[in-house]
Amino acid sequence: MESLTLSDVEQKYYSELFLSCDVDNTKKVASNGKVLDLFRAAQLSNEVVHQITELCGATRLGHFGRSQFYIALKLIALAQSGLALRVESLNSVRDLPLPRFVMGKNEQETRHAVMFADTENQGSYFPRHPGRVQAKKVSAHEMIQPCVPTVDPQPDTTSPVVSPHQSPPTSPHAWRKHKRQASGGNVDRQPSVPGVVWPPFREAQPVTGDGMWSAHSPPPVQESWVSFTDTPPSSTLPMHPPSAQPESTTVRTVPSAMTTNEIQRQISGYDDPWKITDEQRQYYINQFKTIQADLTGLIPGSAAKEFFTKSKLPILELSHIWELSDFDKDGALTLDEFCAAFHLVVARKNGYDLPEKLPESLMPKLIDLDDSAGVPEPAPEVGFSASPVEVTPNKSPSMPSLNQNWSELNQSNEQWETFSERSSSSQTLTQFDSNIAPADPDTAIVHPVPIRMTPSKIHMQEMELKRTGSDHTHPTSPLMAKPPELSDETKLAATIKFPGTTVGDGYSSSDSFTSDQEPISSAVNRQRSHSGTSPEGLKVVAPPPPPPRPHASHSRSSSLDMNRNFAAVPAGPQQPGVVAFPPAVPPRPLPTQTSVPHGHRSVEGDGLPAHTSTSPHQMPEQPNFADFSQFQAFAVDQPADDGENASDSGQAERCAETTGTMKTAKNDVQSEERNATTVNSTKVSTPLAPPPKPVRRRLKSEDELRPDVEDLPQKSNIIATVLATQPSIPRSIGKDKKAIQASIRRNKETNTVLARLNSELQQQLKDLLEERISLEVQLEQLRPFSHL
Amino acid sequence: FIRFVVLINYPLYIRSVPTQGELKFHYTVHTSLDVVEEKISGVGKALADQRELYLGLLYPTEDYKVYGYVTNSKVKFVIVVDSSNTSLRDNEIRSMFRKLHNSFTDVMCNPFYNPGDPIQSKAFDSIVSTMMVQAC
């Protein structure tokens, strides 16, 4: 014969076919009967078949050698394409579609692969790329192989098999019929599928010839099984086409044509080898209904056991399949679980090894496609790729870790939210009474990156928190790690913390503060209490948050910003003065501070240098403080409110008010501050107030904690620097929003710092006043003596 | 080394890290059963005795500890560990038993598993392997 050049695809395909025809396993000769069957399945007229046989030389040889077989196949392809049968054309025709074989009815019946033979699928099969076809054929072929042996040993079992199968019958039958019809419609297709897919269910396939049936029912079933699972991971399809679904090639190997179809279909269905095609899924659903009418219900274990036992798989394997598919371990199967189990059974039947873990595509979906498996599906399950949309294998990043992913996602979302919430909460904190609290969170959330600094700061805070192993009492970072519900709380707490942190007296106001925060959330209040226990911020200037209080900085900073700032500079106080403030005033705050207090600061600047006297110093500070706080609050608000520029004026007002309050006793001051802040907050929607308050508190607490006058100089230095560097940023309303926000932020930071300074100085002032009073008393006592 | 045994008066599942010298462990487990029974039949103690015994089976030559755990359905889990393996604390043993119990429950839920059959679940095996790795 003429030499025959075959493309790779063709080569594979033909070899598959040859092997399928090679029932005698001679590897060389295809039995005539089989070959002729195959040829007939090509749906060519008998004459054509004869002609082909002659041409390929089989007539001469009397049998089909491999080369003859190949030639014949090519000729069949030619014939099917409508081309003249010419030997010459064997090699000349390029891009010849692979020959298509349609299984005979009987074969089909016996070989039904259950579901898969839908017309549509069939239709889709054909246009498959030849490559795919090859792949399918290979798989189909392989499938067939295992099936074949099974055929023989089982004839005796057919009858017993048949009987139990009575039950599910209807659907398979329906399938088959449908398929057959479909196949009738598609000459090319191998309707095979129908029917046998589920051997156990095959039961009585009245359609199939009894003889065949009995002999083949188990085997066909198995074949169909085989076809079912085209895509097992161990699939023999080297070329497993990436296309999912209906890749199934039109090529259907003859003997196992049906299975081939099915297999191919299956294969195509699986990019991911374990995907369930629509047909399959539908079939499974129908089967499910036979056991449990309610699609949203469960199949109890015993019923499932009976059902799957019919598949004649070893109990051990069935047990393993069960373990894989019973996702929620409840001893019952939901629809999704059932489909997965069924699918695995089919795969196993077809010779594919069971996976160790449930494949992604078989994972029960959270949202069942049919809305029927909703029941106990674990929430984080990844959607099935199975049904209608096969695909998206990428749906679940990693199936086994679905739950984790989901939870991670949730956490991340929450974290994100916490982020924003934090910022918002911080803002609210600064405002204390800002009734914006309710609104803030929203606004905060709106600004995903609340404060540019914050992300880093929060990060740092988080890191700190994590380092310290903070629990949910830690505002920032812990939030991330915590469950979502806590995040809010923690955030608030974080912000709240600093007010309530440490300083006992300073934090008496924390209560009020919390009350202020009421609108924010009760959680916040709770947080406050927590924060109250974390005085570290005050005590430890050092940025690295002391173990108990993760956010040393955070607690310090009334606003999230501040915390972040501090967190950013956990390492070490950037400046001595800064150190005095909530831990680690980050560089940012400094610049902002410097920038912020520009206008207001001018006053402070005067007094700053002269730290010797606390009172004068404090005086200027107070106004500054007020300003700062407002700025700070402003800055804090920044994320929330872009257009908070107007808060500058508000801040000024607040400053004035706060300054007034500052002068009173610490507690009083604090309360007044709070009031002032509340007042301010009312004026300004943004949570400016809270930041100042906490700042004040911090300062005060700082004063208490470190009644070092040295702090004053430091503070003054800081303030001076802040003032010095403070441009008229707050006025840049008309400028770029970002610039404004940045400036606001800086101002806020400055505010915070200054507020702290202020509080410290206030503390010192009080101490000094007390001393003075005591001295005066002594003097009084002494005087009378002197008089005497 | 470490050894896990699940039994209901006869072994359902045995797994050892060093797979040699098992006979000795068989004997040990068998004798420990007596102690377990003794404890179960004791006063109305909670059946889930997580920590059963630190057997006096500390022979000079063979020093190992045997821990027992009984479920409400009289399924016994036995863990034998080398005494030289002091890293295993009681809590860890308890957690191991808990995991074993959970895995065993999962196996039980499988309708294809008949109680009383040897446990041939891969999931169960994997969990036991994990624990063995952790323990050794």
pLDDT band, residue A449 (cuts 50/70/90): low
Enumerate the residues of chain B whose CB falls inside 8 A of the CB of residue A309: 112
Is residue A756 over pLDDT 80?
Answer: yes
Inter-chain CB proximity A320 and B111 less than 8 Å: no
From A163's Cα to the closest Cα of chain B, the distance in A is 22
CB contact under 8 A, B121 and A320: yes
Residues of A in contact with B112 (CB under 8 A): 305, 308-309, 315, 318-319, 322
According to the model, what pLDDT value does residue A192 have?
A: 40
CA–CA dist A788, B28 (Å, integer):
100
Cβ <8 Å between A322 and B122: no
What distance in Å separates residue B6's CA from the closest CA in chain A? 18
C-alpha triplet B123, B126, B132: angle, nearest 5°:
145
Confidence band of A376 (pLDDT split at 50, 70, 90): very low
**Residue pointed to by tokens 């399918």:** A136
Q: State whether A322 and B111 contact (CB < 8 Å).
A: yes
Q: Tell me how many degrees the CA angle A220-A226-A229 measures, rounded to the nearest 5.
A: 145
| Most confident among A19-23, A132-136, A643-647, A659-663 (mean pLDDT) | A19-23
Cross-chain residue pair A319–B110, CB shorter than 8 Å: yes
Q: Which residues of A touch B111 (CB under 8 A)?
A: 300-302, 304-305, 322, 331
CA distances from B107 to A381, B94, B121, B131 (A): 22, 20, 7, 17
Nearest CA-CA distance, residue B106 and chain A, Å? 6
Q: In this model, does residue A95 exceed pLDDT 90?
A: no
Chain B residue with CA closest to A328: the answer is B106
Tokens of A126: 């054909």
Residue A330 contacts B, CB cutoff 8 Å: yes
Q: What is the pLDDT of residue A591?
A: 45
pLDDT for res A725: 55
Query: What pLDDT is stored for residue A644 in this prediction?
Result: 44
- pLDDT band per the 50, 70, 90 thresholds, residue A7: confident
**Span A425-430, average pLDDT:** 44
Per-residue pLDDT, A84: 67
- Does the pTM surpass 0.80? The reply is no
Give the list of residues 6+ apart from residue A123 with CB closer than 8 angstroms, or none: A186, A189
What pLDDT sits at residue A766? 95
DSSP bridge partners of A333:
A299
For A62-90, write each residue's pLDDT tens digit.
666 777 777 777 777 777 777 666 666 66
- Asked if residues A492 and A524 have their Cβ atoms less than 8 Å apart, the reply is yes
pLDDT for the residue A694:
47
Chain B, 31 to 50: residues with Cβ < 8 Å from chain A are none
Task: Collapse the DSSP code of A375 into the 3-class scheme (helix H, G, I; strand E, B; otherwise coil) and give the result.
Answer: coil
Residues from chain B that touch A302, judged by Cβ atoms under 8 A, are 111
Among residues A179, A175, A31, the alpha carbon closest in space to that of A105 is found at A179
pLDDT for position A454? 47
Between CA A80 and CA A84, with CA A81 as vertex, the angle to 5 degrees is: 90
Give the mean pLDDT of A186-210. Answer: 40
The answer to whether the CB atoms of A301 and B120 lie below 8 A apart is no
Q: How confident is residue A577, by pLDDT bands cut at 50, 70 and 90?
A: very low
B110 touches chain A (CB under 8 A): yes
Whether B132 shows a pLDDT value over 70: the answer reads yes
Coil, helix or strand at residue A510: helix
Average pLDDT over residues A439-448: 48
Q: Which of B111, B121, B122 sits opposite A301 (nearest CB)?
A: B111
Q: Hey, is the C-beta of A356 within 8 angstroms of any chain B C-beta? A: yes
pLDDT score of A745: 93
- A302/chain B closest Cα distance in angstroms: 6
C-alpha A310/C-alpha B115 separation (Å) is 21
Half-sphere exposure of A12 (CA within 13 A, CB side): 23
- Inter-chain CB proximity B112 and A326 less than 8 Å: no
Whether pLDDT at A248 is above 70: no
Given an 8 Å threshold on Cβ–Cβ distance, is A322 in contact with B120? no
pLDDT: which is higher, A408 or A759: A759
| Closest in A304, A320, A356 to B111, CB measured | A304
Chain B residues with beta carbon closer than 8 angstroms to that of A356: 122, 126
Instruction: Pick the more confident residue, A440 or B37.
Output: B37
Measured CA angle at B59 (ends B53, B65), to 5 deg: 30
Give yes or no for residue A636 having a pLDDT over 80.
no
- State pLDDT tens for residues B101-127: 888 888 888 887 888 888 888 888 888
How distant is the Cα of A25 from the closest Cα of chain B, in angstroms? 37
Tell me the per-residue pLDDT of A451-489, one tens digit each, with 9 for 90 and over: 455 444 445 555 555 555 444 444 444 444 444 444 444
- Give yes or no for residue A496 having a pLDDT over 60: no
**Per-residue confidence band for A776, with pLDDT thresholds at 50, 70 and 90:** very high
Interval A637-652 mean pLDDT: 45
pLDDT per position as a tens digit, A591-617 = 444 444 444 444 444 444 444 444 444
pLDDT higher at A642 or A50: A50
Task: Give pLDDT, residue A97.
Answer: 64
What per-residue confidence (pLDDT) applies to A759? 95
What average pLDDT is seen over chain A?
A: 55
Residues of B in contact with A323 (CB under 8 A): 106-107, 110, 121-123
Would you place residue A765 in the very low, low, confident or very high pLDDT band (cuts 50, 70, 90)?
Answer: very high
Chain B neighbors of A320, CB-CB under 8 A:
121-122
DSSP string covering A442-465:
HHHHH-SS--SHHHHHHHHHHHHH
Would you call B121 and A319 a contact, using CB atoms and an 8 Å cutoff? Answer: yes
Q: Under an 8 A CB cutoff, do B111 and A331 touch?
A: yes
Structural domains for chain B:
2-134 (3.30.450.70)
Per mean pLDDT, which of A45-54, A161-170, A416-425 is the most reliable? Answer: A45-54
In terms of DSSP H, where are the helices of A518-588? 522-532, 536-539, 552-556, 560-568, 576-580
Is A751's pLDDT higher than 90?
Answer: yes
Rounded mean pLDDT, A523-535: 43
Asked whether the beta carbons of residue B111 and residue A329 sit closer than 8 angstroms, the reply is no
Instruction: Please report the DSSP string for A590-651 in residue order.
Output: HHHHHHTTHHHHHHHHHHTT--SSHHHHHHHHHHHHHHHHHHHHHHHHHHH-TTGGGHHHHH
pLDDT category of residue A749 using cuts at 50, 70 and 90: very high
pLDDT of residue A102: 61
The DSSP H or E segment spanning A341 is helix A335-349
Amino acid (1-letter code) at residue A332: A
The mean per-residue pLDDT over the stretch A224-245 comes to 40
Determine the average pLDDT of the residues in B65-88. 76
Mean pLDDT of A164-176: 41
Whole-angstrom Cα distance, residue A417 to residue A441? 9
**Residue A774: per-residue pLDDT:** 95
> Which pLDDT score, from 0 to 100, does residue A735 have?
65
pLDDT of residue A596: 44
Residues of chain A above pLDDT 90, percent: 5
Put simply, the answer to whether A323 touches B110 (Cβ < 8 Å) is yes
Residues B109, A315: C-beta atoms closer than 8 Å: no
Gap between the Cα atoms of A727 and A743, Å rounded: 9
B122 lies within 8 A of chain A by CB = yes
Distances (CA, A) of A50 to A40, A45, A47, A104, B80: 10, 9, 5, 18, 76
Say how far apart CA A646 and CA A33 lie, in whole Å.
Answer: 94
Average pLDDT (A545-567) is: 48
* Residue A547 backbone class (left: φ over 0; alpha: ψ -120 to 50; beta: rest): alpha
Say if residue A12's pLDDT is above 60.
yes
Nearest to A318 among B107, B112, B122 (CB): B112
The angle that helices A218-228 and A130-151 make with each other, rounded to 10 degrees, is 150
Least confident of A401-415, A750-764, B64-78: A401-415
Query: Which one of B110, B124, B129, B130 makes the best mutation probe of the A interface by having the most chain A beta carbons within 10 Å?
Result: B110
Q: How far apart are CA A349 and CA A200, in angstroms?
A: 11
| pLDDT at residue A36 is higher than 60 | yes
Question: A301 CB near a chain B CB, below 8 Å?
Answer: yes
Give the pLDDT band (50/70/90) at residue A754. Answer: very high
